[in-house]
Structure 1
Amino acid sequence: MKKIILLIGAAAGLSSTIVGVASAQRFSGYPYQTGQEVYEHICQGCHMPDAKGATGAGTYPALASNPRLQAGVYPVIVMLRGQKAMPSFADLTDKQIADVTDYIRTHFGNQYPGTITPDQVGKMRPQQIKRDAQRPG
Protein backbone atom coordinates (compact mmCIF):
# COMPACT_ATOMS: atom_id res chain seq x y z
CA MET A 1 0.00 0.00 0.00
CA LYS A 2 2.86 2.35 0.84
CA LYS A 3 4.41 1.79 -2.62
CA ILE A 4 1.12 2.65 -4.35
CA ILE A 5 0.77 5.86 -2.37
CA LEU A 6 4.38 6.78 -3.20
CA LEU A 7 3.78 6.10 -6.91
CA ILE A 8 0.58 8.15 -6.91
CA GLY A 9 2.38 10.96 -5.11
CA ALA A 10 5.27 10.81 -7.58
CA ALA A 11 2.84 10.87 -10.53
CA ALA A 12 1.00 13.84 -9.03
CA GLY A 13 4.32 15.61 -8.54
CA LEU A 14 5.30 14.90 -12.15
CA SER A 15 1.98 16.15 -13.52
CA SER A 16 2.19 19.35 -11.47
CA THR A 17 5.75 19.81 -12.76
CA ILE A 18 4.56 19.38 -16.35
CA VAL A 19 1.69 21.82 -15.79
CA GLY A 20 4.11 24.28 -14.20
CA VAL A 21 6.52 24.04 -17.13
CA ALA A 22 3.67 24.43 -19.64
CA SER A 23 2.35 27.49 -17.79
CA ALA A 24 5.81 29.03 -17.61
CA GLN A 25 6.24 28.37 -21.34
CA ARG A 26 2.97 30.12 -22.11
CA PHE A 27 3.86 33.22 -20.15
CA SER A 28 7.56 33.44 -20.95
CA GLY A 29 7.32 32.60 -24.63
CA TYR A 30 9.25 30.17 -26.72
CA PRO A 31 13.05 30.33 -26.46
CA TYR A 32 13.79 29.54 -30.11
CA GLN A 33 16.00 32.09 -31.82
CA THR A 34 15.90 31.16 -35.52
CA GLY A 35 13.26 30.18 -38.02
CA GLN A 36 14.83 26.75 -38.28
CA GLU A 37 14.62 26.27 -34.48
CA VAL A 38 10.97 27.35 -34.44
CA TYR A 39 10.21 24.93 -37.27
CA GLU A 40 12.09 22.03 -35.68
CA HIS A 41 10.59 22.47 -32.21
CA ILE A 42 7.05 23.55 -33.04
CA CYS A 43 6.08 22.93 -36.67
CA GLN A 44 7.71 19.69 -37.68
CA GLY A 45 5.73 17.63 -35.18
CA CYS A 46 2.76 17.93 -37.55
CA HIS A 47 4.26 19.04 -40.86
CA MET A 48 7.12 16.48 -40.54
CA PRO A 49 10.92 17.02 -40.66
CA ASP A 50 10.86 17.07 -44.48
CA ALA A 51 7.79 19.40 -44.47
CA LYS A 52 5.88 16.96 -46.67
CA GLY A 53 2.97 16.80 -44.24
CA ALA A 54 1.19 13.67 -43.07
CA THR A 55 -2.13 11.92 -42.96
CA GLY A 56 -3.20 9.74 -40.06
CA ALA A 57 -5.25 10.89 -37.10
CA GLY A 58 -5.60 14.13 -39.06
CA THR A 59 -4.32 15.74 -42.23
CA TYR A 60 -1.30 17.99 -41.93
CA PRO A 61 -0.62 19.84 -45.18
CA ALA A 62 2.74 19.81 -46.86
CA LEU A 63 4.79 22.97 -46.70
CA ALA A 64 7.32 21.51 -49.14
CA SER A 65 6.88 22.90 -52.65
CA ASN A 66 3.71 24.66 -51.53
CA PRO A 67 2.59 27.40 -53.96
CA ARG A 68 0.47 29.07 -51.25
CA LEU A 69 3.71 30.16 -49.56
CA GLN A 70 4.46 32.44 -52.51
CA ALA A 71 2.37 35.08 -50.72
CA GLY A 72 4.50 35.78 -47.66
CA VAL A 73 1.55 36.93 -45.59
CA TYR A 74 -0.28 33.62 -46.02
CA PRO A 75 1.73 31.61 -43.45
CA VAL A 76 1.75 34.61 -41.10
CA ILE A 77 -2.03 34.79 -41.12
CA VAL A 78 -2.31 31.03 -40.61
CA MET A 79 0.07 31.16 -37.63
CA LEU A 80 -1.73 34.12 -36.07
CA ARG A 81 -5.28 32.84 -36.60
CA GLY A 82 -4.91 29.11 -36.88
CA GLN A 83 -6.65 27.22 -39.65
CA LYS A 84 -8.87 24.15 -39.49
CA ALA A 85 -7.16 21.79 -37.01
CA MET A 86 -4.07 23.98 -36.65
CA PRO A 87 -4.19 26.14 -33.54
CA SER A 88 -3.09 29.75 -33.46
CA PHE A 89 0.55 30.34 -32.62
CA ALA A 90 0.00 34.02 -31.85
CA ASP A 91 2.04 33.54 -28.69
CA LEU A 92 5.18 33.44 -30.85
CA THR A 93 6.92 36.81 -31.11
CA ASP A 94 6.73 38.88 -34.28
CA LYS A 95 10.37 38.01 -34.96
CA GLN A 96 9.80 34.27 -34.50
CA ILE A 97 6.83 34.30 -36.88
CA ALA A 98 8.77 36.33 -39.45
CA ASP A 99 11.81 34.05 -39.13
CA VAL A 100 9.90 30.78 -39.45
CA THR A 101 7.91 32.21 -42.36
CA ASP A 102 11.12 33.13 -44.17
CA TYR A 103 12.57 29.71 -43.32
CA ILE A 104 9.69 27.69 -44.78
CA ARG A 105 9.52 29.97 -47.84
CA THR A 106 13.20 29.29 -48.67
CA HIS A 107 13.55 25.61 -47.70
CA PHE A 108 11.90 22.30 -48.54
CA GLY A 109 11.83 23.00 -52.28
CA ASN A 110 10.44 26.51 -51.82
CA GLN A 111 12.45 29.40 -53.23
CA TYR A 112 10.10 32.34 -52.90
CA PRO A 113 11.68 35.81 -53.02
CA GLY A 114 11.24 38.51 -50.43
CA THR A 115 11.13 38.37 -46.69
CA ILE A 116 8.61 39.06 -43.98
CA THR A 117 9.68 41.48 -41.29
CA PRO A 118 8.67 41.49 -37.63
CA ASP A 119 7.11 44.90 -38.27
CA GLN A 120 4.81 43.39 -40.92
CA VAL A 121 3.77 40.63 -38.51
CA GLY A 122 3.09 43.21 -35.79
CA LYS A 123 0.84 45.17 -38.11
CA MET A 124 -1.25 42.05 -38.73
CA ARG A 125 -1.77 41.36 -35.02
CA PRO A 126 -4.39 44.06 -34.34
CA GLN A 127 -6.52 42.64 -37.15
CA GLN A 128 -6.13 39.20 -35.58
CA ILE A 129 -7.20 40.44 -32.16
CA LYS A 130 -10.29 42.13 -33.62
CA ARG A 131 -11.29 38.96 -35.48
CA ASP A 132 -10.82 36.82 -32.37
CA ALA A 133 -13.02 39.17 -30.36
CA GLN A 134 -15.76 38.81 -32.98
CA ARG A 135 -15.66 35.00 -33.08
CA PRO A 136 -18.38 33.29 -31.10
CA GLY A 137 -17.26 30.87 -28.38
Structure 2
Amino acid sequence: MKTILTAATLIATLAVSGAAVAQDFVQSGTTPTLPQREGQAIYNAVCSGCHMADGRGAEGAGAYPPLANSDFVESPDAVIAWVLNGYRAMPPLGSIMDDEQVAEVVNYVRHNLGNSYEGSSTAADVQAMRE
Protein backbone atom coordinates (compact mmCIF):
# COMPACT_ATOMS: atom_id res chain seq x y z
CA MET A 1 0.00 0.00 0.00
CA LYS A 2 2.85 2.36 0.86
CA THR A 3 4.38 1.78 -2.59
CA ILE A 4 1.09 2.62 -4.30
CA LEU A 5 0.74 5.85 -2.29
CA THR A 6 4.33 6.82 -3.04
CA ALA A 7 3.85 6.17 -6.75
CA ALA A 8 0.56 8.10 -6.78
CA THR A 9 2.20 11.04 -5.02
CA LEU A 10 5.09 11.05 -7.50
CA ILE A 11 2.76 10.88 -10.48
CA ALA A 12 0.60 13.71 -9.12
CA THR A 13 3.67 15.86 -8.43
CA LEU A 14 5.06 15.28 -11.91
CA ALA A 15 1.70 15.96 -13.50
CA VAL A 16 1.33 19.29 -11.71
CA SER A 17 4.92 20.43 -12.29
CA GLY A 18 4.98 19.07 -15.82
CA ALA A 19 1.86 20.98 -16.82
CA ALA A 20 3.48 24.31 -16.05
CA VAL A 21 6.69 23.36 -17.82
CA ALA A 22 4.89 21.94 -20.84
CA GLN A 23 2.94 25.15 -21.17
CA ASP A 24 6.20 27.12 -21.28
CA PHE A 25 7.69 24.72 -23.84
CA VAL A 26 5.26 25.57 -26.63
CA GLN A 27 7.10 25.95 -29.93
CA SER A 28 5.85 28.09 -32.74
CA GLY A 29 5.40 26.49 -36.12
CA THR A 30 7.65 29.08 -37.75
CA THR A 31 10.97 28.31 -36.10
CA PRO A 32 12.89 25.10 -35.36
CA THR A 33 14.21 26.53 -32.08
CA LEU A 34 12.57 27.42 -28.80
CA PRO A 35 10.70 30.72 -28.75
CA GLN A 36 12.28 31.74 -25.42
CA ARG A 37 15.33 34.00 -25.78
CA GLU A 38 16.41 34.79 -22.20
CA GLY A 39 18.32 32.38 -19.98
CA GLN A 40 15.78 32.24 -17.17
CA ALA A 41 12.88 31.71 -19.57
CA ILE A 42 14.76 28.91 -21.34
CA TYR A 43 15.66 27.33 -17.99
CA ASN A 44 12.04 27.50 -16.85
CA ALA A 45 10.76 26.02 -20.11
CA VAL A 46 13.27 23.21 -20.53
CA CYS A 47 15.46 22.57 -17.49
CA SER A 48 13.24 23.15 -14.47
CA GLY A 49 11.10 20.09 -15.18
CA CYS A 50 13.96 17.87 -14.01
CA HIS A 51 16.31 20.18 -12.12
CA MET A 52 13.42 22.09 -10.45
CA ALA A 53 12.76 25.83 -10.64
CA ASP A 54 15.20 26.55 -7.82
CA GLY A 55 17.84 24.18 -9.25
CA ARG A 56 17.79 21.84 -6.26
CA GLY A 57 17.46 18.71 -8.43
CA ALA A 58 15.13 15.80 -7.79
CA GLU A 59 14.96 12.07 -7.33
CA GLY A 60 12.11 9.83 -8.31
CA ALA A 61 11.80 8.07 -11.63
CA GLY A 62 15.39 9.18 -12.17
CA ALA A 63 18.10 11.19 -10.44
CA TYR A 64 18.37 14.78 -11.59
CA PRO A 65 21.44 16.49 -10.11
CA PRO A 66 21.19 19.84 -8.42
CA LEU A 67 22.45 22.83 -10.35
CA ALA A 68 22.01 25.20 -7.42
CA ASN A 69 25.16 25.95 -5.41
CA SER A 70 26.95 23.43 -7.60
CA ASP A 71 30.59 22.94 -8.52
CA PHE A 72 29.16 20.81 -11.35
CA VAL A 73 28.47 23.97 -13.40
CA GLU A 74 31.76 25.77 -12.76
CA SER A 75 33.17 25.00 -16.23
CA PRO A 76 31.26 26.90 -18.93
CA ASP A 77 32.63 24.56 -21.62
CA ALA A 78 31.31 21.51 -19.78
CA VAL A 79 27.84 23.04 -19.38
CA ILE A 80 27.76 24.06 -23.04
CA ALA A 81 28.72 20.52 -24.07
CA TRP A 82 26.01 19.00 -21.85
CA VAL A 83 23.33 21.31 -23.23
CA LEU A 84 24.40 20.66 -26.83
CA ASN A 85 25.06 16.93 -26.64
CA GLY A 86 23.28 15.69 -23.53
CA TYR A 87 24.89 14.12 -20.50
CA ARG A 88 24.03 10.71 -19.07
CA ALA A 89 20.20 10.69 -18.97
CA MET A 90 19.91 14.34 -20.05
CA PRO A 91 18.86 14.58 -23.70
CA PRO A 92 20.81 16.69 -26.19
CA LEU A 93 19.17 20.10 -26.62
CA GLY A 94 21.42 21.61 -29.27
CA SER A 95 18.90 20.99 -32.03
CA ILE A 96 16.18 23.08 -30.35
CA MET A 97 18.39 26.01 -29.31
CA ASP A 98 20.51 28.34 -31.38
CA ASP A 99 23.96 29.41 -30.18
CA GLU A 100 22.67 32.52 -28.39
CA GLN A 101 20.00 30.53 -26.52
CA VAL A 102 22.56 27.97 -25.35
CA ALA A 103 24.86 30.77 -24.13
CA GLU A 104 21.93 32.45 -22.36
CA VAL A 105 20.86 29.35 -20.43
CA VAL A 106 24.46 28.42 -19.58
CA ASN A 107 25.06 31.92 -18.22
CA TYR A 108 21.79 31.80 -16.27
CA VAL A 109 22.71 28.54 -14.55
CA ARG A 110 26.29 29.65 -13.80
CA HIS A 111 25.30 33.10 -12.45
CA ASN A 112 22.04 32.24 -10.64
CA LEU A 113 20.55 29.46 -8.55
CA GLY A 114 23.07 30.24 -5.84
CA ASN A 115 26.00 30.08 -8.29
CA SER A 116 28.21 33.06 -9.00
CA TYR A 117 30.93 31.83 -11.31
CA GLU A 118 32.99 34.37 -13.24
CA GLY A 119 32.85 34.86 -16.97
CA SER A 120 30.08 34.66 -19.50
CA SER A 121 29.65 32.42 -22.50
CA THR A 122 28.89 33.88 -25.90
CA ALA A 123 27.21 32.58 -29.03
CA ALA A 124 30.70 32.36 -30.57
CA ASP A 125 31.81 30.06 -27.72
CA VAL A 126 28.84 27.78 -28.40
CA GLN A 127 29.40 27.83 -32.16
CA ALA A 128 33.03 26.76 -31.63
CA MET A 129 31.85 23.80 -29.55
CA ARG A 130 29.36 22.75 -32.24
CA GLU A 131 32.17 22.45 -34.82
What CA distance in whole angstroms lies between the structure 2 residues aligned with 1:36 and 1:103? Answer: 6
Return the letter of the residue paired with 1:125. Answer: R
Runs (5+) with no aligned partner, structure 2: 1-25
What SS does structure 2 have at the residue aligned with 1:123?
Answer: helix
Alignment match of 2:42 (pick from 23, 34, 38): 38
Could you tell me which runs of 5 or more consecutive residues in structure 1 were left unpaired when the two chains were aligned: 1-20, 127-137
Query: Given that residues 27 and 35 in structure 2 are in contact (C-alpha distance below 8 angstroms), is that contact kept between their aligned partners in structure 1?
Result: no
How far does residue 32 in structure 1 lie from its aligned partner after superposition? Answer: 0.3
1:88-115 deviations in whole A, cap 9, x for unaligned?
A: 0012110000000000101111000100
The number of aligned residues is: 105
Structure with more helix by fraction: 1
TM-score (ref. length: structure 2): 0.75
- The match for 2:109 is 104
Query: Aligned residues: percent identity?
Result: 38
State the distance in 1 between where 2:48 and 2:58 align.
10
Aligned partner (choices 64, 81, 86) of residue 82 of structure 1: 86
Question: TM-score scaled by structure 1?
Answer: 0.72
In structure 1, the partner of 2:120 is 115
1:56-75 paired onto structure 2 within 5 Å: 56-75=60-79
Whichever of the two has the greater Rg, that structure is: 1
Q: What is the CA-CA distance between 1:23 and the residue it aligns to?
A: 9.4
